[in-house]
């Protein structure tokens, strides 16, 4: 994940498995471990992957797609998150797959429709806006 600056605990994208610039679609995943840094405290006895980290995983995927397309070298930061819905919980171990569709993909702003899945179950969706900072 050399294009993304996030490392250590906040590297929430393990691999990108699809990147189609022409159609503006991309997909990646993050493997969730029962001993992840957040698992002990969220929620003790029943670790649930926090929703805010689902959004962060999707944002990292959108940032990767942005860097591959524009090669700006600038960090793509949050400018907004809209229409967020959490549809199910994620309990590790699990593979969290994120798919994205670029609704707008410009050098100064990108808007991505993102969905997250575990298996065939959609667990979250959101529209994420990013801008280089």
Tens of pLDDT, residue by residue over 59-73, are 999 999 998 888 888
| Number of independent structural domains in the chain | 1
Question: What average pLDDT does the segment 68-79 reach?
Answer: 86
pTM of the model: 0.92
Decide if 4 is inside a domain: no
Q: Helices (H), strands (E): how many in the chain?
A: 1, 6
30 is catalytic: no
Instruction: Say which of 14, 19, 42, 50 is annotated catalytic.
Output: 42
Look at 22-31, 36-45, 76-85, 94-103 and tell me which has the smallest mean pLDDT. Answer: 36-45
Decide if 126 is inside a domain: yes
DSSP symbols for 76-95: EEEEEEEEEEE-S---SSEE
Domain holding 89, by residue range, is 13-132
**CATH at residue 117:** 3.10.129.10
Decide if 118 is inside a domain: yes
């Amino acid at each position: 994940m050399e294009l993304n600056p996030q490392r250590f605990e906040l590297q929430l994208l393990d691999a990108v498995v699809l990147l189609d610039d022409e159609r503006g679609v991309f997909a990646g995943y993050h493997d969730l471990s029962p001993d992840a840094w957040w698992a002990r405290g969220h929620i003790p006895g029943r670790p649930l992957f926090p929703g805010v980290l689902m959004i962060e995983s999707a944002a990292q995927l959108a940032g990767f797609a942005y860097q591959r397309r524009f090669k700006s070298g600038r960090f793509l930061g949050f400018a907004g998150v809209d229409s967020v819905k959490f549809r199910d919980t994620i309990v590790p171990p699990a593979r969290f797959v994120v798919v994205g569709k670029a609704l707008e993909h410009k050098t100064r702003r990108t808007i991505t429709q993102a969905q997250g899945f575990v298996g065939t179950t959609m667990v979250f969706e959101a529209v994420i806006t990013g801008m280089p900072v």
